[in-house]
């Protein structure tokens, strides 16, 4: 079912340099950017972690999930339930618990979902994620449609997460940790097997790989990592609601890795930043002649998505590759 | 529960199930014949409800609104197929999912621009506004029986069309072997356009006839879309017969679930889906 | 005589009312090549799929060594020592030739996808896997082409890769579905030579159409028509059999 997307597993030197520069820019940003933009970049980094977690599932293993946001939301809600109204709670046990909760949800749902293939997989991941959405939406006990507030950022002891700069660097640290972990995993025996499953699952089984357990492990791990992002999101925004688990959020994160290019995790980061940037751009459009352009950001987002899929379905990376090919062909 | 209550819940189950069937039939037909998955299918349902609202205001008659809405939806379906969907039959499912997701946004905003964000009601026509007495203190709304009647008629019509007409034969042939069908001189492009338009019309009509009961409000498409997907997954994608059985099953589980086990009612349908997947990962009636 | 490495008894596969394979039995012995021939639609591919676990039989049973593998999943059967190559090239087209074979060889390491150790090791650094892959590559004659992208390699090279991947899983039983398909004379000769080279250590079943190759390779011949075995025995005897000539070999 998975089509040949532009999989650049080994990043060329040029792109590696650009990425390194990007990391430096991120490290330096809090000293040059305003508070507002610092918050925005923190958000983008959190979404980049979310996008990388999906890239493991979709870009590497080839499983297109329309319900990945469920695990993002579960972790955010876990933090919300664990944080009392009047005081902060410790980062050092709530973070692992939230990540485990997200992973456990992914394991349970994955057990049912991973046995399906192709379009079925897409539809059932969406269905189960919506189930989780309605579970929270319909139950006042779980916060209902209004959501839950997280009044205090988690207490890290050694450093103060209430300080926005500290939170920023903590998030950057998590981003880099996840990135290097996933790059390592990509070239491990496990990662190679996942790539094989993406390219030709039938042959993988024929040579003796039990693809079900590989896919389920990838699904669970991806869910757990999405949980890390969800925890950070809840901590940063101080608020969780069922929308975090909705299929809109799931579709957004798919768009992010499409935009940036799938399969190498760097593309996921780029795509997350680019997508969030576009979203902010649309939401902030001024009114033109009485027509509130920004209010109808969904329209512009919808058109943007349709145009990208019609004309640049392999994302920015694919466009770049196409341009390079044309140039190369012209030189011959 | 006593017999009258049971009968009412049973009738409600069937009514809900038949409505879901109309949506699921369109979705599964379009996927089975053209291989396209359409996330925006729920938007057609919403379109139907809003059309019912506007047209019954315009014509002053619910019946005329339904007829007018049906015609408009066929035209809309043909146009949409011509300018967009036909180019996506050969694209992989991921592209289709994202494209139609983008369409959801566009349709929602268009609805917001054309009709605003308020909730509206549609009046049940006087003729259908009564109730049938079941017992001395239980009665059942005639309008719901009317809805079931319309769905059954359309279901029969669909069955006859697919199985008993030459057009239906061409449709089935096209699904089975596209190239062969084309080389036999059958205009496959026209077949696809017709099938797509039928799918759109079914969804829109479902929205129209449901509007007096469900009201007309923003985002009404999303909720019904997910149920539609669950029905298609349980029934087996591409199978209209599967969609019917699955829809009735879902109607029963959901309706009786809400009455008997209200705490877990929302989850029951998904548990049903999970159980089916364990047994048959490709649905009950795999195509 | 030692035990048959693979033994299939009374295999039947029905699709609806149609029996694609009807009461077929076959035994495979080490150092023997058993060739299955027959016209198109005879059920040869279905038989291969039944033996490799790609299809469950309607009735009958299959034993691989000491294990009953009648309804086992393909990965289980592979781990019990059966390797299968495909008529339609079934490789990892976007990987290099080396990566194709390396991945196949990796299948023999203990599978523990949930074990975090397996997430941190380097796949390319596993010496035992590399040795196995290297050996398979050499047997198949592809050592010089290891860096080529598999999908861009020539048809003959891809067929060689098919075999290499199968050999990398170190099977005892080999099912080869038309290994010579689409090959020119020189390539076909090389493939026949390869098959004879690996024969002593394996029990092999071949599905083939190439008459010269069949009689060069076969220790035992089975002829299938319409899902049934119409003749089974030594090649010389089969060649002389009037019934077989009429049904199949008559075109010679």
pLDDT at A287 (0 to 100): 78
Higher pLDDT, residue C214 or C98: C98
Cβ-nearest to A306 among B94, B103, B278 = B103
A108/B contact by beta carbon, under 8 A: no
Please determine, for residue A83, whether its predicted confidence score (pLDDT) is greater than 80.
yes
pLDDT at A2 (0 to 100): 35
Q: Mean pLDDT score of chain B, rounded to an integer?
A: 88
Q: Which of A112-116, B99-103, C39-43, C163-167 has the lowest mean pLDDT?
A: C39-43
Higher pLDDT, residue A73 or B214: A73
Please determine, for residue A7, whether its predicted confidence score (pLDDT) is greater than 80.
no
Evaluate whether residue A321 is within a structural domain: no
Q: Mean pLDDT score of chain C, rounded to an integer?
A: 89
**With bands split at pLDDT 50, 70 and 90, how would you rate the model's confidence at A331?**
very low
Q: Report pLDDT digits (tens) over A123-146.
A: 999 999 999 998 998 888 898 889
Evaluate whether residue B180 is within a structural domain: yes
| Mean pLDDT of the C226-246 span | 83
| Mean pLDDT of the C22-29 span | 92
Evaluate whether residue A247 is within a structural domain: yes
Number of domains chain B contains: 1
Question: What's B117's DSSP letter?
Answer: S
Best of B86, B90, B92 to substitute, by most chain A Cβ atoms within 10 angstroms, is B92
Number of domains chain A contains: 1
A3/C contact by beta carbon, under 8 A: no
* Interchain pair B109, A119: CB under 8 A: no
A90/C contact by beta carbon, under 8 A: no
Cβ-nearest to A192 among C91, C103, C165 = C103
Tokens of C206: 């071949």
Domain range for B186:
13-124+140-218
Q: Report pLDDT digits (tens) over B102-127.
A: 999 999 999 998 998 888 888 888 77
C143/A contact by beta carbon, under 8 A: no
pLDDT at A6 (0 to 100): 41
Q: Report pLDDT digits (tens) over A311-327.
A: 887 777 667 666 766 66
Chains contacting C with at least 3 CB pairs below 8 Å? A
CA C53 to chain centre: 12
Q: Which chain B residues are Cβ-neighbours of A2 within 8 angstroms?
A: 92, 94
Evaluate whether residue B278 is within a structural domain: no
| Mean pLDDT of the B220-248 span | 91
A3/B contact by beta carbon, under 8 A: yes
Q: State the pairing for strand pair B131-133/B139-141.
A: antiparallel
Q: Give how far B177 is from chain A: nearest CA, Å.
A: 20
User: What structural domains and CATH numbers belong to chain C?
Assistant: 1-81+171-252 (3.40.50.300), 91-170 (no CATH)
**With bands split at pLDDT 50, 70 and 90, how would you rate the model's confidence at A174?**
very high
pLDDT at A317 (0 to 100): 66
Please determine, for residue C194, whether its predicted confidence score (pLDDT) is greater than 50.
yes
Whether the complex's predicted ipTM surpasses the cut of 0.85:
yes
Q: Give how far B90 is from chain A: nearest CA, Å.
A: 11
Evaluate whether residue A210 is within a structural domain: yes
Evaluate whether residue B3 is within a structural domain: no
Please determine, for residue A332, whether its predicted confidence score (pLDDT) is greater than 50.
no
Domain range for A152:
37-284
Evaluate whether residue A303 is within a structural domain: no
Please determine, for residue A4, whether its predicted confidence score (pLDDT) is greater than 50.
no
Evaluate whether residue B225 is within a structural domain: no
Please determine, for residue B71, whether its predicted confidence score (pLDDT) is greater than 60.
yes
Q: Which chain B residues are Cβ-neighbours of A57 within 8 angstroms?
A: none
Question: What's C219's DSSP letter?
Answer: S
Evaluate whether residue A9 is within a structural domain: no
C80/A contact by beta carbon, under 8 A: no
pLDDT at A289 (0 to 100): 72
Q: Which chain B residues are Cβ-neighbours of A68 within 8 angstroms?
A: none
- For residue A148, list its beta bridge partners: A240
| Mean pLDDT of the B179-199 span | 82
| Mean pLDDT of the A162-167 span | 92
**With bands split at pLDDT 50, 70 and 90, how would you rate the model's confidence at A330?**
very low
Evaluate whether residue A308 is within a structural domain: no
Tokens of A62: 């080839």
Evaluate whether residue A295 is within a structural domain: no
Cβ-nearest to C124 among A187, A200, A209 = A187
Evaluate whether residue A146 is within a structural domain: yes
**With bands split at pLDDT 50, 70 and 90, how would you rate the model's confidence at C240?**
confident
* CATH code, A134: 1.10.3470
Evaluate whether residue B109 is within a structural domain: yes
């Amino acid at each position: 079912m998975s089509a040949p997307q532009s999989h650049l597993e080994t990043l060329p030197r040029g792109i590696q340099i650009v990425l390194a520069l990007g990391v430096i820019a991120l490290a330096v940003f809090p000293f040059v950017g305003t508070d507002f933009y610092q918050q925005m970049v923190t958000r983008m980094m959190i979404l980049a972690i979310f996008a990388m977690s999906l890239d493991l599932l979709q870009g590497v293993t080839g499983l297109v999930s329309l319900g990945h946001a469920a695990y993002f939301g579960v972790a955010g809600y876990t933090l919300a339930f664990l944080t009392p109204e009047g005081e902060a709670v410790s980062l050092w046990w709530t973070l692992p618990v939230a990540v485990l909760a997200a992973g456990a949800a992914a394991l349970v749902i994955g057990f049912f979902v991973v046995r399906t293939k192709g379009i079925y997989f897409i539809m059932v991941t969406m269905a189960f994620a919506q189930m989780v959405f309605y579970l929270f939406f319909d139950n006042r006990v779980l916060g209902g449609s209004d959501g839950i507030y997280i009044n205090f950022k988690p207490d890290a002891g050694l450093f103060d997460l209430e300080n926005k700069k500290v939170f920023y660097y903590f998030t950057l640290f998590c981003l880099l940790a996840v990135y290097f972990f996933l790059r390592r995993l990509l070239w491990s025996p496990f990662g190679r097997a996942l790539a094989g499953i993406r390219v030709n699952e039938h042959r993988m089984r024929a040579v003796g790989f039990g693809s079900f357990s590989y896919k389920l492990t990838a699904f669970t791990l991806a869910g757990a990592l999405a949980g890390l992002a969800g925890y950070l999101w809840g901590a940063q925004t101080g608020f969780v609601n069922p929308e975090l688990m909705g299929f809109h959020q799931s579709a957004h994160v798919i768009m992010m890795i499409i935009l940036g290019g799938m399969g190498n995790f760097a593309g996921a980061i780029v795509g997350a930043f680019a997508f969030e940037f576009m979203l902010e751009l649309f939401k902030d459009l001024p009114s033109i002649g009485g027509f509130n352009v920004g209010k109808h950001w969904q329209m512009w987002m919808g058109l943007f998505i349709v145009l990208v899929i019609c004309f640049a379905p392999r994302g920015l990376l694919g466009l770049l590759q196409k341009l390079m090919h044309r140039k190369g062909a012209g030189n011959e | 529960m006593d017999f009258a209550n049971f009968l009412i819940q049973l009738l409600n189950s069937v009514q809900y199930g038949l409505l879901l069937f109309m949506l699921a039939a369109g979705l599964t037909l379009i996927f089975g014949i053209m291989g396209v998955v359409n996330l925006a299918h729920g938007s057609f349902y919403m379109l139907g409800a809003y059309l019912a609202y506007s047209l019954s205001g315009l014509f002053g008659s619910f019946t005329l609104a339904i007829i007018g809405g049906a015609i408009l939806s066929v035209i809309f379906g043909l146009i949409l197929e011509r300018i967009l969907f036909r180019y996506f039959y050969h694209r992989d499912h991921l592209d289709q999912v994202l494209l139609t997701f983008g369409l959801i946004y566009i349709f929602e905003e268009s609805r917001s621009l054309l009709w605003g964000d308020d909730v509206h009601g549609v009046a049940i026509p006087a003729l259908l506004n009564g109730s049938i007495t079941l017992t001395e203190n239980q009665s059942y709304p005639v309008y719901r029986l009317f809805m079931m009647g319309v769905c059954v008629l359309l279901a029969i019509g669909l069955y006859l069309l697919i199985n008993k007409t030459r057009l239906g034969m061409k449709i089935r042939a096209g699904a089975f072997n596209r190239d062969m069908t084309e080389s036999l001189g059958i205009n496959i492009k026209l077949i696809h356009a017709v099938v797509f338009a039928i799918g759109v019309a079914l969804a829109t009509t479902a929205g129209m006839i449901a509007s007096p009961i469900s009201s007309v409000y923003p985002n009404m498409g999303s909720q019904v879309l997910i149920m539609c997907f669950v029905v298609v997954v349980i029934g087996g994608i591409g199978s209209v017969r599967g969609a019917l059985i699955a829809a009735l099953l879902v109607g029963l589980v959901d309706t009786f679930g809400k009455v008997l086990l209200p705490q877990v009612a929302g989850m029951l349908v998904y548990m049903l889906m999970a159980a089916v997947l364990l047994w048959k990962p490709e649905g009950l009636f795999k195509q | 005589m030692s035990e048959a490495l693979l033994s299939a008894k009374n295999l039947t596969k029905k699709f609806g009312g149609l029996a694609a394979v009807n009461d077929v039995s076959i035994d495979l012995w080490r150092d023997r090549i058993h060739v299955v021939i027959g016209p198109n639609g005879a059920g040869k591919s279905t038989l291969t799929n039944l033996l490799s676990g790609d299809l469950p039989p309607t009735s009958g049973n299959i034993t691989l060594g000491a294990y009953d593998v009648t309804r086992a999943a393909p990965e289980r059967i592979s781990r019990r020592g059966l390797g299968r190559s495909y008529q339609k090239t079934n490789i990892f087209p976007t990987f290099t030739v080396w990566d194709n074979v390396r991945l196949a060889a990796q299948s023999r390491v203990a599978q523990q996808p949930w074990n975090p150790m397996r997430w941190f090791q380097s796949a390319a650094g596993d010496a035992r896997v590399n040795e196995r892959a290297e050996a398979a590559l050499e047997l198949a004659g592809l050592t010089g082409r290891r860096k080529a992208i598999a999908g861009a390699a020539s048809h003959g090279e891809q067929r060689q890769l098919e075999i290499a991947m199968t050999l990398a899983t170190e099977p005892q039983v080999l099912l080869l579905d038309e290994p010579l398909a689409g090959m020119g004379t020189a390539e076909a000769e090389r493939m026949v030579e390869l098959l004879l080279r690996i024969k002593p250590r394996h029990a092999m079943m071949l599905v083939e159409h190439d008459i010269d190759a069949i009689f060069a390779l076969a220790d035992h011949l089975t002829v299938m028509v319409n899902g049934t075995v119409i003749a089974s025995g030594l090649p010389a005897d089969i060649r002389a059999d009037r019934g077989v000539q009429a049904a199949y070999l008559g075109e010679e």
